[in-house]
Structure formats: structure tokens, C-alpha cells
Amino acid sequence: MQASIVFLGTGQGSFVIGRDILSSGGFVIQVDENQFHIDPGPNSLRNAAHSGINLRSNTALLVSHAHLNHSNDVNAVIDSMTYSGFDKKGVLVSNKTVVSGQDQYKPTLLPHYRDFLERFIVLEAGQRVGINEVEIQALKTKHSEPNAIGFKFFTPYFTLSYSADTKYFPELIEEYKNSNILILNVPHILKDDAKDNLCIEDAIKIVKEVRPKLVIIQHFGVEMVKGDPLFQIREIQKSTGIQTISAKDGMIIDLISYSVDRGQRTLQAYPKEQKIEIRHESIKEPEKEEEPAQEEYIPIEEIKEQQTELSDQNILDSEKTLKEILKQD
């Protein structure tokens, strides 16, 4: 039983990331043998290496929307995890803008790198996909990128919701319901500055209603950095009574500490195979009947060779079958 999250970068906006006050690169969730890289923004490869993350181990790459601070390195990560397409592997799960583009947005995923993947899947809010033992649901958002989605992970140990970039609206409460762990992107302190993103006031509203076991705040804009994220996050914890953590670049959190001993887990458990198992519907296949065991076949030539080492009398005196005598020798 292993589950952890590694934050490759926790910054937002050109002022914070461009001046290298905080980095970018998204975060990585590891659940047993599965590794999910979420929102690979700039510096994903460098920050993964610094954090000891092997991108070759990626089971799936998830991109919430096409803004560069969430999707810039998607092609580079695919190139790295597949040995430039030599080892075709992995799954991309994203919104449709990343794959197909829309209006002023060109596709982030280039056709050359798309062919390196085992499969790519486009999700809209409410749709689910199963990857090995983990089910992932796309969540509603309201953001300047019109097709942006969040992600909800149903694992064997916990349910984790990630807001991605969104402004507050009442349906968010229902989207995050029954989450044990909640990751919120909160770039702003004040409501007037938030526009298409969350602020501290919004985060407090959400946490009070959802009541997860752990809240992690990340994606800090310039106001949050100047105001000290640690101080701001303490205000959320004081107002809600829920343990709240301010993420830091390179931070690692053991998620088993917040595993589910109550509440909703993944709908089903599926055995991991060599190839990634992908399910669009949560339908349990009927169990196969076990075939009757067949008797071991021993070639006649082998019997003759072994018989030369046995006396006829030993065989006649024994109550065991010839096959059992041969096995003993």
C-alpha cells in the first residue's frame, strides 16, 4: 500500500514563475504502481528530476486546460516517458482544447507526440475513465479557458479532488463532495482580484461545506506570495477547523495518512497488468469459471529412460502408481 503526492511547482502567473520566485510543472500522484502527472507546466522535466520523479514511470498524463502554465510541457513529457516514441506507452487524459484547440487556442498536443502514446482520451465534465485500479472523473469549472476541467481520483485508499483553475460557483460543492483530500488552486487573497480563479474567501466556503480530511492549497499568484501563503492558509484552517497545508515546490505528502477508512473508495478494484487497462464504464466483468486441472503429461520416452534406473521388483512391490514413483526419483 503506497500513495503519495509530489508538488513539482506551486506558482501561478508570469510574475511569480517568470522571475523564478516559485516554479511550475504541476504535481505527481503515485498510487501503488500507478503514476499520474497532472498539469505539466513549464520546467516539468527539470523539477521532476530534482524531486526524484522518473517520468518513464508515468502511467498517465492529465491536463486540465490549455493555458501554458498547465500544459506547456505536455509534448516534452510525452517524449521523455516514451523514449521519443521508441517505447509507445502511457495515456493522456485532457480536455478537448488541449487535443483539438478552440477559437484562439491552438492544440497544445502536437500530432507527432500524440502518436507516441498508447492512447489519448478527451473528457468533458461528468465523464469518467478507469486506468488500472484508479477511476478519474472530470469536474466542472468556470474559467477563461472554456473547456477547462478539474479531476476527481477514486483510488482504493482515498478520494482526491483537484479543482484546477476555476472561479467559485455553488455547484463546486457537489463536485467535491465525499473527497478525503482536496487540492485547490488559490492564486488570490481578495475576491476583487480573483475573476476566473479562487480566492481565500472562496476556499473557506468550499472547505466548510465539503469537510475533507486534508486540504492542500497551491498555484500561488503574486498577491499570495507577497502576503505569505503560510499565513493565508492558517486563516483557512482557523475558519474551517480542517487541516490545511500550503504546498511548496518539491513538497512530498504521504497520502496513506489520509486514506479512507470510511466514505467512498474506487467503485471497483482491477488487477494491474503489463499493459495499461482503460475503462470508460464501470462494469464488472463476470468471473471466469476455473477450468478443471489436467493431469500432468509425461512423454513416453522420459518414462522409459527413468525406468532403466528402477528395478521391476521395486515397482511391483510399491503400492504407488508409476507416475508417483517417477516423480520421487
Are 131 and 274 contained in the same domain? yes
Q: Are 96 and 124 in contact (CB under 8 A)?
A: yes
Kindly tell me if the per-residue pLDDT of 122 is higher than 90: yes
204 contact partners, CB below 8 Å, separation of at least 6: 235, 236, 239, 240
Task: Report the alpha-carbon distance of residue 301 to residue 324 in Å, rounded.
Answer: 17
pLDDT at 271 over 90: no
Structural domain of residue 324, as residue ranges?
293-329
Q: Is residue 188 part of a domain?
A: yes
Percent of the chain with pLDDT over 90: 71
User: Are residues 211 and 67 part of one domain?
Assistant: yes
Least confident span in 118-122, 168-172, 267-271, 325-329? 267-271
Q: Looking at residue 243, what is its pLDDT?
A: 95
- Is the confidence at residue 287, as pLDDT, over 80? no
pLDDT, one tens digit per residue, over 178-201 is 999 999 999 999 999 989 999 999
The residues near 145 (Cβ < 8 Å, ≥ 6 apart) are: 65, 66, 67, 95, 97, 105, 165
Residues 128 and 231 in one domain: yes
Tell me what the pLDDT averaged over the chain comes to: 85
Judged against a pLDDT cut of 60, whether residue 257 lies above it is answered with: yes
**Distance (Å, whole) CA 259 – CA 159:** 8
3-state DSSP call for residue 137? strand
Is residue 223 located within the same domain as residue 108?
yes
Q: What is the pLDDT of residue 279?
A: 74
Model pLDDT, residue 19: 87
> Are residue 272 and residue 297 in the same domain, yes or no?
no
Q: How many domains does the chain have?
A: 2
Is residue 93 classed as helix, strand or coil in its secondary structure?
strand
Task: Please indicate, yes or no, whether residues 297 and 181 belong to a single structural domain of this protein.
Answer: no
State yes or no: pLDDT of 296 exceeds 70.
no
pLDDT for the residue 315: 44
Summarised one tens digit per residue, pLDDT across range 151-166 is 999 999 999 999 999 9
In a domain, 42, yes or no: yes
- List alpha helices for the chain, DSSP H: 14-18, 44-50, 68-71, 74-81, 96-100, 111-114, 171-176, 191-194, 200-210, 222-227, 229-240, 300-307, 312-317, 322-328
Could you tell me if 168 and 312 lie in one domain? no
- Clarify whether residues 18 and 160 are in a common domain: yes
Identify the band that residue 15 occupies on the pLDDT scale cut at 50, 70 and 90.
Answer: confident
What are residue 5's DSSP bridge partners?
29, 253
* 119 and 223 fall within a common domain: yes
pTM reported for the whole predicted model:
0.80
- State the pLDDT at residue 289: 44
pLDDT over 80 at 26, yes or no: yes
Task: Establish if 40 belongs to a structural domain.
Answer: yes
What is the domain-level CATH number for residue 260?
3.60.15.10
- pLDDT for 280 beyond 60: yes
